[in-house]
Chains A and B, each alone.
Chain A
């Protein structure tokens, strides 16, 4: 065990409270930069992951032979700890935001693929039959029938992926780009400065909640029929 661990907890110190408005005021710029970095890393990663994962889910739905390998390979990635992944990517790609984003995309894939596939599989066979009978081609059916009906699953996948990505961004601190993770870790390393650790934690949780609500809102906008059905 390291000599640094095993100390007694620092006694409650009035200069080191769990929360301080004063700290937030004085470090507005530092926290805003962290927020921007956190948002940018999250949004980029989830969008790229969605752009890869939704087509993969469609492919897995159409070619059922591929669904096993697609789910399994994105599942294996899940077993690999984020820190280990960054340990492999960091020395190869350098200490850049891109390194963090690549790792985050890999982790976001599974949630989106899996839930989109659930959504696509829930499209009733009758509906597909009827669409085919009405003369829908393969692409038109995908765009106008299957994807809209699979939207609840896709939205669920995006929500899970986004919320976990927000939490995972913090690990990017190891390559220097961790958004609020930088705030938390530097707070810890700087004399266990509690107001800073708490500010970073609350920032993460708040951001996760905000993104979640935004995606729920987008889902409601995209699926007006779901609202109408509930009202009826």
Chain B
């Protein structure tokens, strides 16, 4: 038992394991770049659709269906299927596969954010002579910022966690340290496996923490109290997305 942890400690203490071209630092950078690209694509797709659906008040069913379908779809399946299609091997296939899992929280929160705008505020804006487009861009979207931020945080944390699985298809990221360790066999690679697991966990918790702070910073002070997810998470009608699948 202690032997494996000792091995993990020794592995982490070797500077080369940090600075090698496929060491912890390079893999972390790769991991974060893949994740950032996936979240960015997810936002580009999900936010316009989500806010539009929220604005028109239609499509709640679509959002639940998307969430259910992505929950049932194993990440490993998309990671293996995408490189074999026209997308081809390499980062794009992995980024696209991860982006798909970023969509549900982004979509749901964009929808909810616009939907939850006080109807009286909407009435007042219309009464002041705002057009449909102005209502969306100048009233609904600013008020939806806390939801958008919350969705972005959920999606980003989830993608950073899920990006570990890219290692299943040799696609890079910190998961590679784990799969290579397993590849060596637990007798000699057990320490590396545990070390990789610990590094991944530290990264995920760090990203979660930093984004929680960032979310607070971008949320205007008057809106902070009714930030979604603060204490009311259990009452959310939309089920929580699954991280790390």
Contact = CB atoms under 8 A, between A and B. Distances in A.
Contacts of B49: none
Contacts of A184: 74, 76-77, 80
| Best-surrounded residue of A4, A88, A115, A163 (most CB of chain B within 10 A) | A88
Contact of A167 (B74, B205, B208): B74
Interface stretch (A90-98, A125-133, A223-231): A90-98
A204 B86 contact: no
Contact of B81 (A110, A201, A209): A201
A88 B235 contact: no
B214 interface: no
A82 B244 contact: yes
A219 interface: no
B66 interface: no
A188 interface: yes
B72 A209 contact: yes
B44 to A, nearest CB: 24
B75 interface: yes
Contacts of B190: 90-91
Interface in A76-91: 78-88, 90-91
Contact of B181 (A8, A87, A192): A87
B234 interface: yes
A87 B180 CA distance: 11
Interface stretch (B110-118, B128-136, B156-164, B217-225): B156-164
Contacts of B89: 4-9
B72 A208 contact: yes
B76 A171 contact: yes
A114 to B, nearest CB: 5
A152 interface: no
A81 to B, nearest CB: 4
Contacts of B126: none
B61 to A, nearest CB: 16
A47 interface: no
A180 B235 CA distance: 34
Contact of A82 (B73, B181, B235, B245): B245
B193 A90 contact: yes
B109 interface: no
A38 B84 CA distance: 25
Interface in B121-169: 157, 161-162, 164-165, 167-169
Given A5-B90, A7-B89, A87-B181, A201 B74 contact: yes
B130 to A, nearest CB: 37
B88 A197 contact: no
Contacts of B16: none
Nearest to A176: B182
B186 interface: yes
A170 interface: yes
Contact of A181 (B74, B182, B194, B234): B74
B178 A83 contact: yes
Interface of B: 1, 4, 22, 30, 68, 71-77, 80-81, 83-91, 157, 161-162, 164-165, 167-172, 175-176, 178-179, 181-182, 186, 190-191, 193-194, 196-198, 200-201, 204-205, 208, 233-235, 239-240, 242-245
20 contacts: A7-B89, A9-B84, A67-B234, A71-B233, A79-B157, A79-B204, A80-B204, A81-B175, A82-B165, A84-B164, A88-B198, A88-B201, A114-B233, A160-B71, A164-B245, A167-B245, A168-B244, A184-B76, A198-B81, A209-B72
Given A83-B164, A163-B68, 5 more contacts: A2-B170, A78-B242, A79-B157, A170-B74, A204-B73
Interface of A: 1-2, 4-10, 67, 71, 75, 78-88, 90-92, 94-95, 107, 110-111, 114-115, 117-118, 121, 156, 160, 163-164, 166-168, 170-171, 173-175, 180-181, 184-185, 187-188, 192, 194, 197-198, 200-201, 204-205, 208-209, 212
